Structure 1
Amino acid sequence: MAAFASALRVLPSPPAAVPRRLRSREQRQGCRSRRYSKVVAYYALTTPPYKLDALEPYISKRTVELHWGKHQQDYVDSLNKQLATSMFYGYTLEELIKEAYNNGNPLPEYNNAAQVWNHHFFWESMQPEGGGSPGRGVLQQIEKDFGSFTNFREEFIRAALSLLGSGWVWLVLKRKERKFSVVHTQNAISPLALGDIPLINLDLWEHAYYLDYKDDRRMYVTNFIDHLVSWDTVTLRMMRAEAFVNLGEPNIPSPSSFASDAEEFLDHMIPDAEIRMHERHLHHLMSCTVK
């Protein structure tokens, strides 16, 4: 998940004896301290990895422009305002989400941080001409944990439709159980804060689909699974997840064991995708020199 971390930041190094969570506000906000100088980095709105009309006819350009350019931008702007005077200044986005969740009693920074991350992850969970069947490793794991791909598909749709109000539906890897699970979360809650490893998410806030589907959430979710979900991205996320969770058999295949078509995808796409995702997160930097 490192590709969805935060903006690049260069922080002062506090005394080694002081644990990160016990540092003073002055140390965390080095730009305000007379003892430290640093480069200040702000979160910025990152663009989806495709043209804004690339998901049509299932998600319109108009919806993407409003969803990404207005709603997501608002979350980014609000988060930056909060962090200007926050104890979490300088945390990566994932660190901020996990800490600000505060064991189920979210601190003020949590909602905006989670929504910024959730949206990054959402856009990357789709691709033009997506859907269809996952690659063999992901498919084997789905069949192992759900019985069949059809069962997974039905469970994903059922979870989305059973969510009352706004939120997200996810395919996650449960760390302790070492298996896939479909879950939905209310409002801004992210599985990151719950200790799970997200693999897919779908935005179920009304602004994500109302222009295109009105109140027909079922059709929106069905089109996502059948025509938009990026199984290529899920494969990459699973390869990273297996560094933390030993799934046993069946394993997600390593690049060297992929069939020729998958090898071509990995050889060509992974470096470009990784570079692109990291470059998008080298956000606007603003220097701050303390006299």
Structure 2
Amino acid sequence: MPFQLPDLPYDKAALAPHISAETLEFHWGKHHRAYVNKTNELIGQESDLSGATLAQVVREARRSGHAKLFNNSAQLWNHSFFWQCLSPERQQPSGKLAHLIDDGFGNAETMLKQLQEEAVNHFSNGWAWLVLDRGSLRITSLHDADTPLVHDGMVPLFTLDVWEHAYYIDYRNERPKFASAVLSNIVNWDFVAQNLDGHGEQRADQERTGSLTSEHA
């Protein structure tokens, strides 16, 4: 079976008012689905990738310079990871994650401010990321479909989608309001903390059966 559009881990209305059900209808139901469909179409032309996992497809597409396949497969993975970064229940960092935040940024408030600045100041389309880099937290951003999967020193912990389609319905062109609303209210810090084990990649990966490849998914 081809790659699948993963189910959202919550009801489409669960993130309101910060992200509306209408936004998820378009962002998940149309944009994400389009990346799934295009990835499957392109893989159909690449017999050597017929048994590859999604993460393997992303890396091979980057290695071989297959830009269309990379852009679509990486966006499929990025979005699958992004939905899990959000939670209807307001959470706070705790445990080992909280200690790493304090060590790296002084406190969670400072870290969130820097993450918001990264998201807001990122030019054009892309993703703001909180990653683990050799045991320390680091904030960065990547353009367009680029993803930590193809960069050394980027263990993915959390991402915020700053493509305009992520927020235009709810916030029009006001990306700062969108970033503030998400980071202040609906971050799934339990998921972020779980990814400290280095298995965040697998939590958004798929085999070509529609099932996730990791027991942690």
- Give me the TM-score of the superposition, normalised by structure 1: 0.66
Q: Which whole-Å deviations, capped at 9, do the CAs of 1:200-232 have from their partners, x for residues lacking one?
A: 011111111000011111111111111111011
Partner of 1:180: 137
Q: Residue 146 of structure 2: which of 164, 177, 189 is its match?
A: 189
Partner of 1:73: 33
Distance 1:150 1:106 in 2: 40
Aligned-pair CA distance for 1:161: 1.2
Q: Residue 97 of structure 1: which of 47, 58, 78 is its match?
A: 58
Q: Which whole-Å deviations, capped at 9, do the CAs of 1:27-78 have from their partners, x for residues lacking one?
A: xxxxxxxxxxxxxx21011111000100001000000001011001110000
Moved over 6 A (4+): 277-281
Q: 1:210 to 1:97 in 2, by over 3 A?
A: same
Q: Which whole-Å deviations, capped at 9, do the CAs of 1:116-162 have from their partners, x for residues lacking one?
A: 0000000000010234x201210100111112212211110110111
> Do the aligned residues in 1 keep the contact of 2:53 with 2:206 (CA within 8 Å)?
no
Give SS of 2:68's match: coil
Partner of 1:111: 71
Q: Residue 139 of structure 1: which of 98, 108, 126 is its match?
A: 98
Q: Residue 226 of structure 1: which of 163, 176, 184 is its match?
A: 184
Partner of 1:248: none
Within a 5 Å distance, the mapping from 1:1-291 to structure 2 comes to: 41-86=1-46, 87-102=48-63, 105=65, 107-131=67-91, 133-175=92-134, 178-195=135-152, 196-238=154-196, 240-241=197-198, 282-283=209-210
Aligned-pair CA distance for 1:279: 10
- Give me the TM-score of the superposition, normalised by structure 2: 0.88
Partner of 1:9: none
> Do the aligned residues in 1 keep the contact of 2:90 with 2:186 (CA within 8 Å)?
yes
Q: Which whole-Å deviations, capped at 9, do the CAs of 1:270-289 have from their partners, x for residues lacking one?
A: xxxx8xx89998529xxxxx
Q: What is the identity, as a one-letter code, of the residue corresponding to 1:211?
A: I
Segments of 5+ residues of structure 1 without an aligned counterpart are: 1-40, 243-273, 285-291
Give SS of 1:63's match: helix
Q: 1:155 to 1:106 in 2, by over 3 A?
A: farther
Instruction: Give the number of equivalent residue pairs.
Output: 206
Distance 2:120 2:12 in 1: 26
Larger Rg: 1
Segments of 5+ residues of structure 2 without an aligned counterpart are: 212-217
Give SS of 1:101's match: helix
Aligned-pair CA distance for 1:186: 0.4
Distance 1:72 1:134 in 2: 28
Give SS of 1:181's match: strand
Distance 1:85 1:211 in 2: 35
Distance 1:233 1:89 in 2: 30
Give SS of 2:49's match: coil
Partner of 2:214: none
Q: 1:118 to 1:278 in 2, by over 3 A?
A: closer
Q: Between the two proteins, what is the percent identity of the paired residues?
A: 33
Aligned-pair CA distance for 1:108: 3.1
